[in-house]
Amino acid sequence: MLYIFVNGKILDSESPAIKVFDRGMVFGDGLYDVIKMQNGNFIFLEDHIERMKKSAKFFGIKFPYDLEEIFEVGQKLSAMNDLKEGELYLQLTRGVDIIRDHVFEDDYEPTFVEIVQPVRKMNPEIWQVGARVLLHPDLRHNFCEHKTTDLLPNVIAKKYVRSRGAYEALMFRTDEGGKYVTEGASSSYIFFDGEKIIAPKIENILPGITRIKVLWLAKEMDIEVEERRVYIDELLKMKEVILLSTLSRVLPIVKVENFEFKKGEIAKKLDVAFMDLCASHLSVK
């Protein structure tokens, strides 16, 4: 059991807190975000909230709390659940209908959920040994620049890779030039070609907070960064494949399918710099 926050109230996670006609429940009509909680701090909380607020505005969903309120609830949940390390999960849905109906008006009271939970299980050695990923078609919609709750294609891709012993999907779409990389089921990718970092352009993929910070760090280290489509055929020429996310940090990829990559220096340097940045980051007080 965890203590959770739903629309202004602290509840037991096993209590029936969400109404059956909540549009998040029936339509996936909502947004979410995941923030790392480290030593009681919420890393880059303001960036995550900013991203969520922008998406809420885009979809016309009311955003009911400000940064300070979300921070305070997070601190309260961290204390009540006796967790200093974990994940802060935020979910916002458009609100509740009287009957199921696709059509929505403009006057909903949103459903806002805040959860502090232990970090999902990860092998701590993964950063040393690197991870394997598998190709999977990107079967999602055209709203992938937003962190929407309708994650069925993502969970199917994740199940596909995990049931084959791999860590993450490397999803791709197809254009006239062939198959190009989009992102992972819950992570971003960047590549190092021996001279520069190449990051898939933000076109129907999530502007990951880790991606933003890591590309900034790379530029600070005088590593050139190029943002463009990266084709699967080009991967054979890459020196390093690197996965990024709030929970995976900067993770070297040592195999795409059965094709091997070296665990390179760039991933290592960026991970050290990223961990320093996280450690020095203080959330709002």
Which positions touch ligand PDD (CB under 6 A)?
34, 183, 186-188, 206, 208-211, 244-247
Cα separation, 199 vs 190, in Å, equals 5
| Residue 137 CB, nearest approach to ligand PDD (Å) | 14
Compute the 3-state secondary structure of the chain and give helix, strand, coil in percent, each to the nearest 5.
Answer: 30, 30, 40
| Residue 243 CB, nearest approach to ligand PDD (Å) | 9
Nearer residue to ligand PDD within complex by CB, 215 or 244: 244
If you write DSSP's letter for every residue of 196-220 in order, what string do you get? EEEEE-SSSS---HHHHHHHHHHHH
Nearer residue to ligand PDD within complex by CB, 70 or 96: 70
Cα separation, 1 vs 13, in Å, equals 6
| Residue 166 CB, nearest approach to ligand PDD (Å) | 16
Cα separation, 234 vs 241, in Å, equals 11
Nearer residue to ligand PDD within complex by CB, 44 or 65: 44
Helices vs strands, H then E, count in the chain = 7, 15
Nearer residue to ligand PDD within complex by CB, 238 or 278: 278
| Residue 250 CB, nearest approach to ligand PDD (Å) | 10
| Residue 21 CB, nearest approach to ligand PDD (Å) | 25
Nearer residue to ligand PDD within complex by CB, 146 or 268: 146
- Residues 6+ positions from 153 with CB-CB distance below 8 Å: 138, 139, 140
Nearer residue to ligand PDD within complex by CB, 186 or 283: 186
| Residue 53 CB, nearest approach to ligand PDD (Å) | 14
| Residue 131 CB, nearest approach to ligand PDD (Å) | 15
Cα separation, 258 vs 256, in Å, equals 6
Nearer residue to ligand PDD within complex by CB, 96 or 161: 161
If you write DSSP's letter for every residue of 75-131 in order, what string do you get? HHHHHHTT-SSEEEEEEEE--B-SS--S---S-PPPEEEEEEEPPPP--TTHHHH-E
Cα separation, 92 vs 32, in Å, equals 6
Cα separation, 266 vs 252, in Å, equals 9
